[in-house]
Structure 1
Amino acid sequence: MYTPQGRLDANELLRQYSPLVRRLAHQMIAKLPANVEIDDLIQVGMIGLHDALGRFDISQGVQFETFATQRIRGAMLDELRGSDWMSRGNRRQQREIEAAVHRLEQRLKRPPHESEIAEEMGISLQSYQDILTKVRGTQLVYLEDMSGDDGSDEYLDRHVGSEDANPLAQLQDQRMREALVEAIKKLPEREQYVMSMYYEHDMNLKEIAAVLGVTESRVCQLHSQSIARLRVKLRAW
């Protein structure tokens, strides 16, 4: 990995460690809002890798991959912290939807229909669907859900860190995934399809719309509604 002059071969290292950037990006994206683009994380991660090349000092006794991983993850976290994922107004409306879904599920003992959620919120079906479109990209877990009593914003550092660092966290993540799978199975059939195509098959909204024979906006609504239902289920977990 060194040039004839005894220096790190930057081009070769960038080529060799670009898969590491993609792997870290995919680890992060699994725990982040749907509106965070994987390509954006990879691009920022490559900048972090390039920065690692310039700062690495072999005399410190640290392996380059370990050092690079820290710089790459740090660059991604800095980018995420600077992103405004969702406005307070949109978040409030999302929580109102979740509250309505929760009340209806308690009463009906089944997933409520869109028209029932709209009625429970005291708005028209069209207004409800407009809200679903507006809150597109809502995350499954909000940062404030995981913050400490002092309001500290440490979610990203604690939940998007190294997956091998904490066995207990690893076990909790596994239980979380199992609970999520069970919750998805209880979604209405069409919403199950949307979640499967979006998250398992990595299809975009346009592709899903073509498969279902609906508009891209409608797929967005179904995705937002699915997230609201799942958050209600996972709160109980």
Structure 2
Amino acid sequence: MTLAGGLSMYNDVRSNQTDELVHKHAPLVKRIAQHLLARLPDSVQIEDLIQSGMIGLLEASRKYDVSRGASFETYAGIRIRGAMMDEIRKGDWVPRSVHRNSRKIADAIKRVEDRVGRDARDAEVAEEMGITLEEYYALSQDSLSGKLFSFDEVLESDEGSASMYDPDSGGLYDGVQKELFQQRLAEAIGGLPEKEKLILSLYYSEELNLKEIGQILSVSESRVSQIHSQAAHRLKARLTEWA
């Protein structure tokens, strides 16, 4: 077989695998759209979310690498929500203070983890920020709007810029850079503490709400929300090179 023939065969196999992933997980797009729609203003149309989500699913199927540690369902769920958030963001519904608070938390987590060489504990982050644990939990949940969550929101700049995902920004949509980010995100998800990884999987892959997750883990809904928020900010702390 010639090199060209081998490359053509590889591309055909790769294309078929992508098509299979998209077909298998297309219902996930609708579930996520319905999940988000319940938390959004009436002006947001589910058809727009589904259309954007399918783009996110297609990107996820092309970029997913099983060796990176995150399951495809979790990874795709994040990318689907990210694409939907691009659509939602056009309404500019997130205050700048949300992004500033999110950045402060992520910076504190990074400082602690750089210093101690392990996953930062909630109490350590609160101490690093000079606030009580209760204040930290409140700030963490407020910075994620308490209801709607996506990694695009977490990874935005303090001013709410979506440059990492904006194809017109000249940022990560520059081919290689974008692919590197996708790989780094999957690695970061795979490196989360087990409970945080499990909650993200249940929320994004299984489409469970916080109350249902709490029942499974035998913890309160508020505790699930805290862990959920912590996972988001931990990822932001570990992906600061892309911010």
Spell out, residue by residue over 1:59-83, the C-alpha distance to the aligned partner (whole angstroms, 9 max, x if none).
Answer: xxxxxxxxxxxxxxxxx96654014
Cα distance change, pair 228–81 in 1 and its aligned pair in 2 (3 A): same
C-alpha RMSD over aligned residues: 4.0
Question: 1:43 offset after TM fit, Å?
Answer: 3.9
Q: Give the structure 2 partner of residue 10 of structure 1.
A: none
Structure with more contact order per residue of length (Cα contacts < 8 Å, sep ≥ 6): 2
1:19-98 mapped onto 2 (5 Å cutoff): 26=29, 36-37=36-37, 42-44=46-48, 80-84=89-93, 86-98=94-106
Q: Please say if 1:140 is aligned against 2:154.
A: yes
Q: How far, CA to CA, are the matches of 1:109 and 1:134 in structure 2?
A: 28
Cα distance change, pair 199–158 in 1 and its aligned pair in 2 (3 A): farther
Q: Give the structure 1 partner of residue 228 of structure 2.
A: 223
Spell out, residue by residue over 1:16-55, the C-alpha distance to the aligned partner (whole angstroms, 9 max, x if none).
Answer: xxxx9x96x939x79xxxx9549955244689xxxxxxxx
Tell me if the contact between 1:105 and 1:111 (Cα under 8 Å) persists in the aligned partners.
yes
Name structure 1 gaps, 5 residues minimum.
1-19, 48-75, 148-153, 160-165
Q: Give the structure 1 partner of residue 185 of structure 2.
A: 180
Q: Please say if 1:205 is aligned against 2:210.
A: yes
Tell me if the contact between 2:49 and 2:87 (Cα under 8 Å) persists in the aligned partners.
no
Q: How far, CA to CA, are the matches of 1:134 and 1:181 in structure 2?
A: 26
Bigger CA radius of gyration: 1
TM-score (normalizing by structure 2): 0.56
Q: Give the structure 2 partner of residue 112 of structure 1.
A: 120
Cα distance change, pair 78–99 in 1 and its aligned pair in 2 (3 A): closer
Cα distance change, pair 212–81 in 1 and its aligned pair in 2 (3 A): same
Q: How far, CA to CA, are the matches of 2:178 and 2:209 in structure 1?
A: 25
Tell me if the contact between 1:44 and 1:79 (Cα under 8 Å) persists in the aligned partners.
no
Q: How far, CA to CA, are the matches of 1:196 and 1:186 in structure 2?
A: 13
Question: 1:221 offset after TM fit, Å?
Answer: 1.4
Cα distance change, pair 132–82 in 1 and its aligned pair in 2 (3 A): same
Question: 1:177 offset after TM fit, Å?
Answer: 3.2
How many percent of aligned residue pairs carry the same amino acid? Answer: 33
Tell me if the contact between 1:187 and 1:226 (Cα under 8 Å) persists in the aligned partners.
yes
